[in-house]
Amino acid sequence: MVVPRWSMLLFVASAVLLAACGGTSDDAGWDARGIAQSQDGVPFFPIRATSPPGVGPARLAIALTDNGALLPDATVAMRIYRLAEEPQDAPNVAELRAEQIATPRSIVVTSDHKHDDGTVHPHQGPTSTVYVANVLLDEPGWWGIEADVELDGERYEGVRLSFWVRDVSGEPGIGAPVPRSTQRTLRDVSDISEIDTSVPPHPEFHELTIAEALDTGKPVVVAFVTPAFCQTRFCGPVMEEVILPTHARYGDAIEIVHIEPFDLEAMRRGVPEPVPTVQEWGLLSEPFVFVLNPDGTVAAKFEGIMEAEEIAASLDVLLSP
């Protein structure tokens, strides 16, 4: 994921719903000062790690950062509030909508180390972790997360974040139809390296356009990932850790389409130019993986750090008798 190049927007928000409805928050402010005060004495900085959500079901992720590291092994309990339209004018006005336990999702960043004798050994790098909440955001405007975090034997309560919910997300939302894109495939290039930076490349994911994959009548996984140009800790080896295991598990029962988000000829010259399909789909970041119903609507979508089991859970529903 190339954050500076593509204006990756970090916004926030479980797998387990504990309680919901009713209640207000009036013990501290939801304006900028109140949010800053909620983070006093906290040895990490919470950031929002997904694009701006739209009204409807949303997968949102929080990262706990310390000098650039994304901290694993935390327990994060969330309270989700609908805030006043202008929190700076009404900093204590908030309606509790849900209480949730976030699910940690991790991916291990690996790199290849070449020895003098020419052999190449993979080296395991740091684990990147975010804390995911699958929530229903039922109206646009300001929302807030109040998180209680247990980390390294310590508990930090009431850490706050706010985020804006749009009327409609930039990318296709859950239940929405996707563009019937006709991106370049193997038929359109002389070498697969023009459309795939995987090593080795995966021609099986470049045989069909998105439109053609939708015409098969199968569930479709569309993976906007760039193995060679993944450059931040929010962008792990999604091809290796998510897409390939999904292909091995489901085989011909589904179609997988891989889209390199950047024009590779331009990218190799240092010019980050999104391909037309990225613009058609309104993506603000990568990696992005969509699971599509056979009718061409979005069944699930995943951004940033994700795990193969998340993709599997959505596909199992679509493939169940």
Does 137 lie in the same domain as 15? Answer: yes
Residue 68's pLDDT is: 80
Residue 111's pLDDT is: 52
Does 155 lie in the same domain as 41? Answer: yes
Residue 10's pLDDT is: 33
- Paired residues of 124 in beta bridges: 110
Count of domains forming the chain: 2
Residue 60's pLDDT is: 86
pLDDT, tens digit only, all 321 positions of the chain? 333 333 333 333 333 333 333 344 445 799 999 999 999 999 999 998 999 999 999 998 999 999 888 999 999 999 999 999 889 889 999 999 999 999 999 987 655 544 455 554 454 566 889 999 999 999 999 999 999 999 999 999 999 999 999 999 999 999 999 999 999 999 999 999 999 999 999 999 999 999 999 999 999 999 999 999 876 667 778 999 999 999 999 999 999 999 999 999 999 999 999 999 999 999 998 999 999 999 999 999 999 999 999 999 999 999 998
Residue 276's pLDDT is: 97
Does 155 lie in the same domain as 219? Answer: no
* Rounded CA separation 2/106 (Å): 19
CA distances (Å), origin 55, targets 83, 166, 170 = 15, 6, 11
Residue 181 covered by a domain:
no
Determine phi and psi for 34, rounding to 5 degrees.
Answer: -65, -40
* Rounded CA separation 137/98 (Å): 10
Residue 158's pLDDT is: 96
Residue 318's pLDDT is: 97
Does 111 lie in the same domain as 26? Answer: yes
Residue 124 covered by a domain:
yes
Q: pLDDT tens digits for 81-91?
A: 999 988 988 99
Does 195 lie in the same domain as 152? Answer: no
Q: pLDDT tens digits for 139-162?
A: 999 999 999 999 999 999 999 999
Does 127 lie in the same domain as 27? Answer: yes
Task: Indicate the pTM of the whole model.
Answer: 0.86
Encode the chain in three state secondary structure.
Answer: CCHHHHCCCCECCCCEEEEECCCECCCCCCCHHHHHHHCCCCCCEEEECECCCECEEEEEEEEEEECCEECCCCEEEEEEEEECCCCCCCCCCEEEEEEEECEEEEEEEEEEEECCCCCEEEEEEEEEEEEEEEEEECCCEEEEEEEEEEECCEEEEEEEEEEEEECCCCCCCCCCECCCCCCCCHHHCCCHHHCCCCCCCCHHHCCCCHHHHHCCCCCEEEEECCCCCCCCCCCCCHHHHHHHHHHHHHHHHCEEEEECCECHHHHCCCCCCECHHHHHHCCCCCCEEEEECCCCEEEEEEECCCCHHHHHHHHHHHHCC
Does 35 lie in the same domain as 90? Answer: yes
Full domain range(s) for residue 249: 186-319
Does 75 lie in the same domain as 109? Answer: yes
* Rounded CA separation 149/78 (Å): 9
Residue 125's pLDDT is: 61
Does 104 lie in the same domain as 193? Answer: no
Does 222 lie in the same domain as 254? Answer: yes
